[in-house]
Every structure is written in C-alpha cells, then in structure tokens.
C-alpha cells in the first residue's frame, strides 16, 4: 500500500568555501605552500605580491560588496561534516547559463581602493624566518627501487612485472602478498600472463637491491637477507645465520639457555651473535624513507621574552595574495562597452567565476591563519609552565575538548589544527599532539598528566638491570610509592604506548 506524506528536515551542509577552508586547515606548512602554488597556477585571478613587485593592487571590502557566503562560522559548522578528506568535493564555480541578467553590474568586481591593500600577515614578519628547518628533497622509497632496476638487463615484460612487485612492497619494505595472488592480479590488471615461479625469480633480484632486506616476506627472511651480505666466514655471522634460519622461535622468545644447549655454544658466543642481530634493521623500508622526513618546518615559533611567551606563525603560512590587476582591468574595460558580443559576455562570466574563486581562497587562507594562531595561543596559555621550563612534569592534563571550549570551536577543528603541526621552542621542535594527554589523580587528589607517569616508567626501565628487568607488577608498586595508584593493566598500556616490550623481552645476557 502506497502512502504520501510531507516531512520537514533540518540538515546542516557545508558550502564549497567551507570545505575549502577545512582542507586548508589540516595542511602543515610545506603542504600548504604547495596548495597555494597550485591555486596560483589554476586561478590566474590570484597573484602573490611577493612574486610581483609591480602589483600593488590588493583585495579590499570585497566581502561586503558581494553576496558570497561568509566563512567566519565555518568552524562551528564543522561538527556535522564528515569525509572532509574526500578530494572528490573540490569546488569549481559553476557557469550560469543565463548571463544576460545583471550583465553590467560589475562594480563589486572593479571598485577597489588602490591606496589601501589587503595583505595576509597577522603576527607574521614579512621576511623569511631564519630558523626554518627545510625539508630535504629526495625521491620516494618506491621510486628509488624502480631507479635501481636500470642496473639489470630486463626485457620490457620483465621490467613491467618487476615494477608491479615493487609497487606491492609496503612502507616497511615487506612484500606481504603471495606471489600466486599477485600473478592472478597481473593477468587481470596488466593483461599479462605470468607464473609465481617467474615472480619469485624477479623478487630474488629485487632482494639484492638497497637497502638490504628489502622485499622480504617476513622478519626471518628480512634478517637472513641482511646477514647474507656480511662476511659469512666470520664466526658471529655464521652463528647468527644459523640461529635465524633454524632457531628463530627460540631466539624471538629469548630462550637463551635452550639456544646455548642446542647449538653447544658459550654465553660469550651467543652474546656476540645477539649483538650482531640486534643491529640489523627489522623495517628496511623505513630507513629508505628517512631522507624524506629528516627535516621539519615548524608551523609556529614560540619565543620567550624575559618570561613573556609570544607565538608567531611561520611566515610561509601567510602569503600576500592579491586579486589580479589585469583581471579587474578587463572587467572595467567591458563595463564601458555599449554593445557587448556574446564572446565578451562569456569572457566576463569566466572572469567573474575566477574572481569569486580567488576571493573564496583568500578568505579561506585568512581564516586558516586566524584559527591556527588562536588555537596555538590557547595551548600555550594552558601549558604555560611547561613552555617556560620544558619540564614534562609541568604538563597539565589537556584534551582537545578543553581547547575547543575555550576558543569556541568544534573539536574536529582543533583536531585538524593539531594534526601534523609543529611548534619551535627554545628546547626543540615539538608536535602539537604532544601537549594533549589524559589526566591521572594522585593519592593527594591532584590531577596530573599521564605523561608524567610515562616519564617515570621510562626512566625506571632505562635504569633497570637488563639481566633482571623490572616486571609490570614491580613498576606498579614503584608508581604507588610515588603517589600514583595505577592498576597493573594501566602500567602495561602506558609501557606499550612508549614502545617498550615486556620484561622478558628486555632481558639481556
């Protein structure tokens, strides 16, 4: 049975301009620079004043003269928006089919005061900050492997298969897919018939590339590949290979007594082999990618002027973007035309769209700058004692909600600001995520950051006797003596978050 009924729904949707702001907000400094350069290429109505000394015309009073949507409340509207990382929502101004209406109403595009400019640069010096840490330029991990293929004599078909294998290697440097599954995929995606045996032969070739251990299918194979490049005549190398190839399980569980008994070796011999194995790289892909992340450009600069903390935004986050003079002059010339042709009307419509896009982008950049500064200043106020001294014990418990409530923005906005952003301080370049931590109550009723507890755990484990490492039960008692009543499972959770293995795995000979 069919029924008809009326319903009223109130839905909150973000405009294309708001989506643009959200995407800009989550970018760090180098990614933001790249995005600005991309916009300058795609939209000729925007110009960078730093790159054009003759252009002194800037955007002014444009928000009040156009009926475009103000992006100021973007942060408050974000909370109902999901999937902001979806690149399919990129905005392009839509061309109106009927452009006869209001054709000569161009004053909003051409009325600019040439004597007063619109520059982005709140709390930012016009010069490049001398303390920037430049990101090293290098090829990617997979590109580096593909370049090494040129050293081998391969047919075109073999080269294509080798590149497919390289593309299947994960960021750790491992090939975690079976060769039989890959051969089926190759037949479907590349329309090329191959066999697991052929792929195995090419994989063995790839495993001779740098870094050592690349293309391994498990940790055992990764370690063997690295040991095989050592001098196999050395007793320690020969013993290490034997341990990894035949006694990997006993080695990984640190059953050293069993190893010495089965291999009939002394404690000193085992110690030399373990020392050699411990210096191998369990994730060769990460070492190949280290060049890319060697340097960081801080997004904020924190300076301590005699006890007064000041926050500035890296100058790279504040480009001096202007509306193009040539585009405005083109509109002014058209305004004087008495009988415009259809081609002229279409050109004007195109220019209008580019000017609207330029205005929205400049507004989004300005809003991003304001949001970043506002959030960072609030973080500094919350963690003022830490920023004065650099002492982790002075970090206060703080979560995203605390900052969001103070700056009157949504938690998702603060999360985007904190993600992949860094601040330069007198004691190092620190990720913003570092300052957020949960609180723990001491026996005296005082609430402290869990980072303080983690620091105590880290120090205690760092000073322990490695022949008799401290178990979690003893660590719990140690914290209790210091006034932190924490359950053993919480101790285990904090230890795992610090990347520290259990006591049995920390044992050394």
Q: What is the pLDDT of residues 363-408, one digit of tens each?
A: 999 999 999 999 999 999 999 989 998 888 788 888 899 999 999 9
8 A C-beta contact, residue 294 and residue 288 = no
User: Which pLDDT score is estimated for 174?
Assistant: 94
User: Which pLDDT score is estimated for 48?
Assistant: 81
Domain limits of the chain? 13-80+103-122+297-436, 140-210, 214-280, 439-509
Nearest to 378 by CA among 410, 395, 396, 402: 402
Render pLDDT for 98-150 as a digit per residue (tens, 0 to 9): 333 333 444 444 444 433 333 333 444 434 444 444 434 445 778 889 989 98
Chain-centre distance for alpha carbon 333: 46
Q: Is the pLDDT of residue 32 over 50?
A: yes
Nearest to 359 by CA among 57, 60, 42: 60
User: Which pLDDT score is estimated for 445?
Assistant: 63
For residues 477-493, average pLDDT? 85
What is the three-class DSSP state of 480? Answer: helix
Return d(Cα 326, Cα 315) in angstroms, integer.
Answer: 27
The domain over range 439-509 is classified in CATH as 1.10.10.60:
yes
Element (H, E) at 19: helix 16-25
Q: Is the pLDDT of residue 91 over 70?
A: no
Q: Is the pLDDT of residue 244 over 70?
A: yes
8 A C-beta contact, residue 103 and residue 348 = yes
Q: Is the pLDDT of residue 224 over 90?
A: yes
User: Which pLDDT score is estimated for 447?
Assistant: 66
Worst-scoring range by mean pLDDT, 33-47, 77-91, 457-471?
Answer: 77-91
Q: Using pLDDT thresholds of 50, 70 and 90, give the confidence band for residue 497.
A: confident
What is the residue-wise DSSP string for 354-376?
A: HHHHHHHHHHHHHHHHHHHHHHH
- Which is higher by pLDDT, 363 or 484? 363
* 411-418 vs 16-25: helix crossing angle, rounded to 10: 40
């Amino acid at each position: 049975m069919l029924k008809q009924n009326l319903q009223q729904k109130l839905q909150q949707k973000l405009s294309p301009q708001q989506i643009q702001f959200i995407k800009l907000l989550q970018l760090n400094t180098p990614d933001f620079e790249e995005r600005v350069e991309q916009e300058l290429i795609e939209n000729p109505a925007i110009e960078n004043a730093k790159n054009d000394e003759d252009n002194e015309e800037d955007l002014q009073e444009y928000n009040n003269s156009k009926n475009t949507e103000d992006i100021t409340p973007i942060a408050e509207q974000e909370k109902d928006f999901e999937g902001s990382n979806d690149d399919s929502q990129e905005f392009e101004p839509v061309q109106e089919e009927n452009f006869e209406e209001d054709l000569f109403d161009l004053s909003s595009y051409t009325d600019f005061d040439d004597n007063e400019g619109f520059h982005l640069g709140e709390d930012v010096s016009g010069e490049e900050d001398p303390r920037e840490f430049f990101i090293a330029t290098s090829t990617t991990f997979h590109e580096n492997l593909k370049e090494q293929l040129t050293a081998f004599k391969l047919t075109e078909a073999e080269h294509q298969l080798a590149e497919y294998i390289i593309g299947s290697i994960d960021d750790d440097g491992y090939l975690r897919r079976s060769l039989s599954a890959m051969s089926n995929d190759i037949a479907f995606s590349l329309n090329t018939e191959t066999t697991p045996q052929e792929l195995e032969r090419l994989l063995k070739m790839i495993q001779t590339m740098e870094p050592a251990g690349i293309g391994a299918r498990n940790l055992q194979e990764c370690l063997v590949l690295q040991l095989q490049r050592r001098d196999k005549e050395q007793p320690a190398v020969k013993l290490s290979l034997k341990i990894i190839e035949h006694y990997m399980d006993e080695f990984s569980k640190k059953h050293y007594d069993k190893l010495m008994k089965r291999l009939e070796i002394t404690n000193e011999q085992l110690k030399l082999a373990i020392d050699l194995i411990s210096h191998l790289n369990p994730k060769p892909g990460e070492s190949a990618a280290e060049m890319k992340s060697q340097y960081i450009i801080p997004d904020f600069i924190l300076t301590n002027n005699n006890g007064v903390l000041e926050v500035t935004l890296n100058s790279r986050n504040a480009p001096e973007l202007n509306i193009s003079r040539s585009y405005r002059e083109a509109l002014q010339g058209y305004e004087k035309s008495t009988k415009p042709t259809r081609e002229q009307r279409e050109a004007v419509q195109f220019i209008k769209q580019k000017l609207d896009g330029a205005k929205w982008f400049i507004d989004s950049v300005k809003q991003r700058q304001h949001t970043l500064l506002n959030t960072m200043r609030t973080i500094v106020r919350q963690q003022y004692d830490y920023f004065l001294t650099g002492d982790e014990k002075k970090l206060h418990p703080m979560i995203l909600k605390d900052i969001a409530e103070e700056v009157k923005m949504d938690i998702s906005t603060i999360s985007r600001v904190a993600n992949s952003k860094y601040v330069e301080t007198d004691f190092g370049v620190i990720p913003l995520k570092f300052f957020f931590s949960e609180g723990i109550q001491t026996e005296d009723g005082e609430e402290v950051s869990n980072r303080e507890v983690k620091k105590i755990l880290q120090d205690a484990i760092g000073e322990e006797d490695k022949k008799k490492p401290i178990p979690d039960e003893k660590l719990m008692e140690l914290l209790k003596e210091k006034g932190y009543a924490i359950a053993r499972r919480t101790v285990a959770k904090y230890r795992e978050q610090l990347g520290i293995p259990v006591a049995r795995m920390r044992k050394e000979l």
